[in-house]
């Protein structure tokens, strides 16, 4: 992991840090997930092909490794509320959610007509259309007992960024905010939970665009956040769950007295003075959160790590602090025989955030959890493409879940003129077989089990060696 930010990145982070600090008036807007929760994220392509829910799941996996939690993707590209309602039984409730996070608005608010002759009239029509469709969704939600409902305002359409060959649809995000308003009103009247991504992300975009007019958290098309935008979404969601200030661990030792001063979310033992320094055993109850430095997913240009340019995630949610007082001179930090670095006595006394150091054994362990999570995400995406074919193509033709030769024949009548369908033709030919779908689900289950095992923290031997 890259450990240093550029000068402009530090400036932008400083601006966003104080901005976010003032923006979040409530410490907790969404109840944290609990053991045995099955959390389903229902949405459109931003949920379907995006990472934000996967990043949220990774936080829980590394921070609460003993928790049994399932994070499930129920997004389908292109969906509006009206399409989501039609697949509630077969694609959403069938996942047996205990928590259902629902987000919509990007497709509901429309696109090209904002550059037409009557954009305000068009916006009114699209908002009303979305509201009318939502009445059926709200009715269905009221009928399902035992599921905690969270309505989440969509990530924004960015009208402010300067993007080459991409003229924005002026007024579209205002229409989206009207959809956010009726979501919020519904949540309040039904005693459901509500959280908005649109306004904080829009305000972050606007603040940073004052220094960099090309910056956006919403991707090159102004619609689909890249990995950095999805990490911002995950951060805002976790912050709304009250996790700001929640440390990985904090260990403080007085080297002179060979005593533990404090141990937060960890255990320290076997403190020994050595000829050249001090050693002790350290076992945290959590792992540092690993931030991916690779741009993953179709069309992605930014990585999860790039979000650190605009959010104080490390400062607020990824602190594994090592504090050692009573040292003199410079000391080498060694963990499980691996040299991590050399710091001064003053540095150790102020504290070193081990979570910023990607080569510690515990961070490397966390990376293993991250890679397993990415494998799980990739396979889950196949199910979402399969769902797209079922609900966007077959359901209107009365062939939902037919999965037979007739379905293939009907599909082949349209693939020549439908690029999206053509792209999913081979996947459907495989996924229509129950044996293939079972194999994919077995892989997901195995990867989930492997993640839980890989996330269990281990006892680490920490040694400080004088290098004077």
Q: How far is CA 156 from the centre of its chain?
A: 16
pLDDT at 147: 97
Indicate the SS3 state at residue 277.
Answer: strand
- Other beta carbons less than 10 A from residue 188's beta carbon: 11
Query: 371 Cβ partners below 8 Å, 6+ apart?
Result: none
d(CA 348, CA 104): 48
- Quick one: pLDDT at residue 2? 45
Q: What is the pLDDT of residue 178?
A: 98
Alpha-carbon distance of 156 to 199, in angstroms, equals: 7
Question: Are 74 and 39 in contact, with CB atoms under 8 Å apart?
Answer: no
**CB-based contact 148:99 (threshold 8 Å):** yes
Q: Supply the pLDDT for residue 1.
A: 39
* pLDDT value of residue 23: 53
Domains of the chain: 7-240 (3.40.50.1110), 249-285+319-468 (no CATH)
Between CA 350 and CA 213 the distance in angstroms is 37
Per the DSSP assignment, residues forming a β-bridge with 335 are 338, 462
- What is the pLDDT at residue 290? 98
The residue length of the chain stands at: 468
Give the predicted TM-score (pTM) of the model. Answer: 0.95
Q: What is the pLDDT along the chain (468 residues), one digit of tens a residue?
A: 344 455 555 555 555 555 555 554 445 699 999 999 999 999 999 999 999 999 999 999 999 999 999 999 999 999 999 999 999 999 999 999 999 999 999 999 999 999 999 999 999 999 999 999 999 999 999 999 899 999 999 999 999 999 999 999 999 999 999 999 999 999 999 999 999 999 999 999 999 999 999 999 999 999 999 999 999 999 999 999 999 999 999 999 999 999 999 999 999 999 999 888 899 999 999 999 999 999 998 889 999 999 999 999 999 999 999 999 999 999 999 999 999 999 999 999 999 999 999 999 999 999 999 999 999 999 999 999 999 999 999 999 999 999 999 999 999 999 999 999 999 999 999 999 999 999 999 999 999 999 999 999 999 999 999 997
Q: Which residues contact 401 (CB under 8 A, 6 or more apart)?
A: 90, 390, 394
End-to-end CA distance of the chain: 29
| Numbers of helices and strands, H then E, in the chain | 15, 14
Q: What is the pLDDT of residue 25?
A: 47
Per-residue pLDDT at 22 = 53
CB 111 within 8 A of CB 175: no
Pairing of β 38-43 and β 70-75? parallel
What Å distances lie between residue 128 and 45, 135, 144, 288, 381, CA to CA? 22, 11, 25, 45, 32
**Token pair belonging to 95:** 């996942």
The rounded distance, in Å, linking the Cα atoms of 346 and 344 is 5
Alpha-carbon span 250 to 247, nearest angstrom: 7
Give the per-residue pLDDT at 274.
86
């Amino acid at each position: 992991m890259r450990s240093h930010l550029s000068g402009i990145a530090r400036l932008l982070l400083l601006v966003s840090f104080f901005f976010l600090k003032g923006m979040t008036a409530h410490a907790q807007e969404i109840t944290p997930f609990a053991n045995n929760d099955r959390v389903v994220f229902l949405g459109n392509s931003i949920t379907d092909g995006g990472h934000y829910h996967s990043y949220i799941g990774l936080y829980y996996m590394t921070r609460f490794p003993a928790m049994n939690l399932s994070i499930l993707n129920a997004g389908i590209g292109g969906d509006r509320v009206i399409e989501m309602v039609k697949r509630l039984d077969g694609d959403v409730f069938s996942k047996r959610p205990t928590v259902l996070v629902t987000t919509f608005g990007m497709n509901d608010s429309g696109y090209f007509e904002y550059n037409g002759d009557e954009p305000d009239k068009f916006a009114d029509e699209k908002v009303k259309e979305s509201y009318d469709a939502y009445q059926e969704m709200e009715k269905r939600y009221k009928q399902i007992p035992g599921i905690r409902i969270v309505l989440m305002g969509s990530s924004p359409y960015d009208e402010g960024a300067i993007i080459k060959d991409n003229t924005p649809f002026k007024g579209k995000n205002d229409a989206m905010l009207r959809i956010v308003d009726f979501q919020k009103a519904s949540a309040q009247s039904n005693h459901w939970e509500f959280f908005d991504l649109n306004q904080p992300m829009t305000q972050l975009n606007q603040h940073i665009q004052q220094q960099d007019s090309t910056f956006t958290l919403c991707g090159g098309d102004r619609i689909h956040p890249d990995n950095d935008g999805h990490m911002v979404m995950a951060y805002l969601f976790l912050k709304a769950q009250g996790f700001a200030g929640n440390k990985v661990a904090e260990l403080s030792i007085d080297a002179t007295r060979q005593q533990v001063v404090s141990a937060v979310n960890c255990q320290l033992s076997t403190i020994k003075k050595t000829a050249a320094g001090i050693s002790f055993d350290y076992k945290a109850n959590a792992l540092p959160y690993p931030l991916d430095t690779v741009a993953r997913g179709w069309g992605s240009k930014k990585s999860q790590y790039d979000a650190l340019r605009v959010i104080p995630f490390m400062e607020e949610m990824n602190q594994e602090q090592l504090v050692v007082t009573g040292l003199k001179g410079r000391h080498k930090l060694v963990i499980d025989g691996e040299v991590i670095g050399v710091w001064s006595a003053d540095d150790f006394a102020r504290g070193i955030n081990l979570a910023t150091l990607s080569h510690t054994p515990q961070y490397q362990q966390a990376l293993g959890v991250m890679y397993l999570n990415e494998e799980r995400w990739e396979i889950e995406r196949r199910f979402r493409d399969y769902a797209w074919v079922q609900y966007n193509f077959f359901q209107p033709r009365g062939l939902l879940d037919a999965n037979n030769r007739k379905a293939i024949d009907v599909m082949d009548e349209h693939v020549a003129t439908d690029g999206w369908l053509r792209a999913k033709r081979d996947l459907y030919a495989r996924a229509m077989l129950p044996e293939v779908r079972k194999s994919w689900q077995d892989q997901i289950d195995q990867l989930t089990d492997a993640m839980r095992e890989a996330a269990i923290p281990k006892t680490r031997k920490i040694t400080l060696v004088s290098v004077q």
